[in-house]
Amino acid sequence: MAHIVDKYVNPLTDFGFKKLFGEEPNKELLIDFLNQLLPAHHQIEDLEYASNEKVGRTAADRKAIFDLSCRSTSGERFIVELQKIKQNWFKDRSLYYTSFPIQEQAEKGEWDFELQPVYFIGILDFIFSESRKEKNIVHHVELKDQFCNVFYDKLKLIYIELPKFELGVEELTTHFDKWLYVFRHLSKLSDRPAALQERVFTRLFEAAAIANFTPTEMEAYEESLKVYRDLDNSFKTIREEGLEEGLEIGREEGREEGKKEQARAMARMMKQSGEASDKIGQYTGLTQAEIENL
């Protein structure tokens, strides 16, 4: 594999994301990041990681594999997903994923059905088609009635559209701005900027330093980086060939074929890089049979 010249890990790779936010020694990073998104009454003091693989209540139910799953000491459940490319049914998958921590709260015997809050946080390296003209980077979604009053406040979905964040390091004003800057630019930095001097970012840069990786971690990161770059190049190629335009403004037939061809191209790249079929299916929406036939 090619020698890595970057100083810091790319947090948008599968390895980098889980290295920084999915390991017990670094959970303060995840807590700090999540607290920028959560309301004051659900701020996290501590959390514990849960298994990222969930199976339905019956053998016939589908399996779900989350990027990160955790629970705060006060009971809130969190699913954190990093999504590199557009997926036809990503919003549907978000809701499906939230059904697992909801069902897991069921108690045997007498139970009054009281539930603890469930949060889904989607970190997106793309922009939803319907919000392309909006400036809002973060979307908070919850159940409301016909008068737009909150009907149920214990289920929240939060989506972050990273490509909309364009501030330079000298323009960072809030703590959340700094986190978004890290996601967008960490792997391109050669040194820690003066704007990122808080203690939590000191810990972040220590954990992100590629020079501190073990040989096993280095090998895993190189493979993850290859998958990330293959997906990125594939997506850029598809967009340059006009399929993205076909998705947005083309005839209905063109839109559907464009979606399908985009999914097949992504699946081919992931398959060639050795990704598991179930993960390819999650990213592309293709069936296992379609993946096997590529």
The per-residue pLDDT for 282 is 72
The per-residue pLDDT for 252 is 47
**Band (258; pLDDT cuts 50, 70, 90):** low
The per-residue pLDDT for 111 is 84
pLDDT above 50: residue 209: yes
The per-residue pLDDT for 259 is 62
CA pair distance 206, 57, nearest whole angstrom: 41
pLDDT above 60: residue 25: yes
Sign of CA dihedral 17, 18, 21, 26: negative
pLDDT above 80: residue 168: yes
In this prediction the pTM is 0.79
**Band (238; pLDDT cuts 50, 70, 90):** low
The per-residue pLDDT for 166 is 95
pLDDT above 70: residue 255: no
211 CB burial (10 A radius; 0-12, 13-18, 19+): exposed
Q: If we measure between CA atoms, which residue out of 199, 201, 198, 200 comes closest to residue 185?
A: 201
**Band (285; pLDDT cuts 50, 70, 90):** confident
Q: How far is CA 14 from CA 154, 225, 291, in A?
A: 29, 8, 21
Average the pLDDT over 50-73 and give the result. Answer: 72
Average the pLDDT over 148-175 and give the result. Answer: 95
The per-residue pLDDT for 1 is 46
Q: How far is CA 231 from CA 3, 123, 165, in A?
A: 19, 17, 21
Q: If we measure between CA atoms, which residue out of 8, 12, 9 comes closest to residue 183?
A: 12
* Average pLDDT score, the chain: 85
**Band (59; pLDDT cuts 50, 70, 90):** very low
